[in-house]
């Protein structure tokens, strides 16, 4: 397994045996913990602040995409539904 991060790695079996420790390390130590199964990265346990930041970034990307779409509509207009139906063979 090749990883590009420096996060501690636990197998799924180790996760089961050390759940409280892993949760504490993420929650209080602000560590990002990777869990593997059969040598492949499966999931990560991350501090809630990391999750909130990821969600904030995703929301910002969505907002930018919406703004680009609205700008495109303002500049280029839209295609009538009837045209889309005919050109897509939905009639």
Distance CA 15, CA 17 (A): 5
pTM score of the predicted model: 0.70
Pinpoint the alpha helices (H) of 28-91.
48-76, 81-88
- Hey, what are 3's tokens? 């990883």
Ramachandran quadrant class, 48 (left: phi over 0; alpha: psi -120 to 50; beta: rest): alpha
Q: What is the pLDDT along the chain (91 residues), one digit of tens a residue?
A: 445 568 999 999 999 999 999 999 999 999 999 999 999 999 999 999 999 999 999 999 999 999 999 999 999 999 999 999 999 998 7
């Amino acid at each position: 397994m090749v990883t590009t991060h420096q996060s501690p790695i636990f197998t799924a079996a180790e996760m089961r045996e050390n759940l409280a420790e892993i949760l504490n390390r993420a929650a209080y130590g602000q560590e990002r913990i990777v869990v593997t199964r059969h040598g492949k990265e499966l999931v990560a346990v991350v501090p809630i602040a990391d999750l909130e930041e990821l969600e904030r970034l995703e929301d910002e990307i969505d907002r930018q995409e919406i703004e680009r779409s609205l700008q495109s509509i303002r500049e280029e207009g839209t295609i009538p539904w009837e045209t889309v139906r005919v050109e897509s063979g939905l009639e």
